[in-house]
Amino acid sequence: MSARHVIALDQGTTSTRAIVFDAAGAVRGVAQREFPQHYPADGWVEHDAEDIWRDTQTVLREALARAGLRAQDIAALGITNQRETTVVWDRATGQPIHRAIVWQDRRTADVCAQLRDTGATTIVQAKTGLLIDSYFSATKIAWLLDHVPGARIRAERGELCFGTIDCFLLWRLTGGASHATDATNAARTMLFDIVRQQWDDDFCALFRVPPAVLPEVRDCSGLFGATTPDLLGSAIPITGMAGDQQAATFGQACFQPGMMKSTYGTGCFALVNIGDKPVISNNRLLTTVAYRLNGKPTYALEGSIFVAGAGVKWLRDKLKIVKDAAETAALAASVPDGHGVYAVPAFVGLGAPYWDSAARGAILGLTLDSSAAHIARAMLEAVAYQTRDLTGAMAADGAASATALRVDGGMVANDWLCQFLADMLNVAVERPRVIETTALGAAYLAGLAVGVYPGLDAISYAWQCERRFEPRMGEQQRQHLYAGWQAAVKRVLSGE
């Protein structure tokens, strides 16, 4: 039975974890490490890729030990990752030339604004499904090549590699034998044509990225390489890879058009399956690759919110309103309503559907009666309001209405938040038995390639709902609260 286990590496924005799953998709061992965030300037966010690599090795070993397994007992390894975060490293030594630039980072916002002014948005969106924004990897790569001495010349000579975190970890895990990524991560760079499923030379020229630095793009399920034997005691095939939100979509078994999931971690990301034909959004959403199997992509419309759990972390670490994130549920429930207080957590700008990189956070509607409970409640409510922004844009783009929203991520352990989501969206919210579906999706992708999981139908059958939250708020109250949110957002928009 032990050979029927899969290990998933889930490398996120604030922590790295490894989870061992069995053939039924049940968790058998977990290990997690948080790592430092670096903020060298306003709107800048960096990670030390060596911190991530160190923690990766640690959590893989610890998860195996806690599952009571050895490397030779593991059929496959799957990788899922924070998307868009950009690493450039030396092809000969594997050493990064600079800290990784994180997806939240806004240092290239001015460059993106200049590109938008040239009228490039239409062609970029038509081919990549993305809006021109510093969120994505392309301008981050160019910044690194321009600001690290000698980097651009070295890149053009083929001496440097670019990768998102999945790609960097694959390189390290395989001892430099594999420089590859999957279609979901490639689709988040602004350099990948999601229709032709290949890197686009015109966009490489537009964003000033030498094609020589780019990795090979593969399906989400298939052989990427194997860990070096010295790392965990014996080699493990690496057979699954997807960006975190696509992995969560897979783990939530959203395989039919109209099925929708929303993940609540550092940010919030909602994806709705739109089938095998990409639909370009007219409402500032993203069109992305949900997954690619056997060379065939399935697409999704995505709304990206930059701050969800990060707002609660801010309450804990900076305002010190709570000592633990879980306390926010009781605080929110301790007051009968929000008392007119709205939090707009635009700490690093606003994502979909606003895409305003210059917006900054605010807490509005404060009076002398406002308390820490009202502020905590407002931060949770903001997550639901932003989700409604996204679902409204998806409906306007013609996406089929979801009969339920499948949720996952650390925040959805909060019952109060799940109920408010159901109330604000006026749709049932389904929380699965395994809420860490990002890691589960990576495990499913890896296990599909080696026969641990027999197919998509089996994965759909295995999905289980732990609790279903039905809407119970009246329509008048729902509209009143949402109108207050819309007014609050207008107060922080930069007017770009």
- The backbone region for 275, taken as left when phi is positive above 0, alpha when psi lies in -120 to 50, beta otherwise, is left
pLDDT tens-digit readout, 183-219? 999 999 999 999 999 999 999 999 999 999 999 999 9
**Beta carbons of 290 and 271 less than 8 angstroms apart:** yes
> Half-sphere exposure of 35 toward its Cβ, with a 13 Å CA cutoff?
21
Distance CA 401, CA 399 (A): 6
Is the pLDDT at 400 greater than 90, yes or no? no
Instruction: Calculate mean pLDDT across residues 222-242.
Output: 96
pLDDT tens-digit readout, 295-346? 999 999 999 888 898 899 999 999 998 888 888 899 999 999 999 999 999 9
- Say how far residue 431 (Cα) sits from the centre of its chain: 18
Beta bridge partners of 271: 261, 302
pLDDT at 422: 97
pLDDT at 292: 97
Joined together, the tokens standing for residue 25 give: 């998709």
The domain limits of the chain are: 2-245
Residue 404 sits at φ, ψ, to 5 deg, of -160, 155
Percent of the chain with pLDDT over 90: 81
Joined together, the tokens standing for residue 373 give: 């409970």
Distance CA 453, CA 24 (A): 8
- The backbone region for 277, taken as left when phi is positive above 0, alpha when psi lies in -120 to 50, beta otherwise, is beta
Alpha helices in 192-349 (DSSP H): 201-206, 229-232, 244-251, 309-314, 327-333
pLDDT at 249: 94
Spell out where 104-147 has E strands.
none
Q: How many other CB atoms are found less than 10 A from the CB of residue 224?
A: 29
Q: Return the amino acid letter for 102.
A: V
pLDDT at 1: 40
Q: How many other CB atoms are found less than 10 A from the CB of residue 330?
A: 13
Contacting residues for 447 by C-beta, under 8 A, at least 6 apart:
6, 21, 23, 75, 76, 78, 239, 240, 453
pLDDT tens-digit readout, 360-392? 999 999 999 999 999 999 999 999 999 999 999
Radius of gyration over every alpha carbon of the chain, rounded to an integer in angstroms: 21
**Beta carbons of 246 and 291 less than 8 angstroms apart:** yes
Name the CATH code of domain 2-245 (choices 1.10.357.10, 3.40.50.620, 1.10.10.60, 3.30.420.40).
3.30.420.40
> Taking all residues of the chain, what is their mean pLDDT, rounded to a whole number?
93
Distance CA 288, CA 242 (A): 12
Is the pLDDT at 477 greater than 70, yes or no? yes
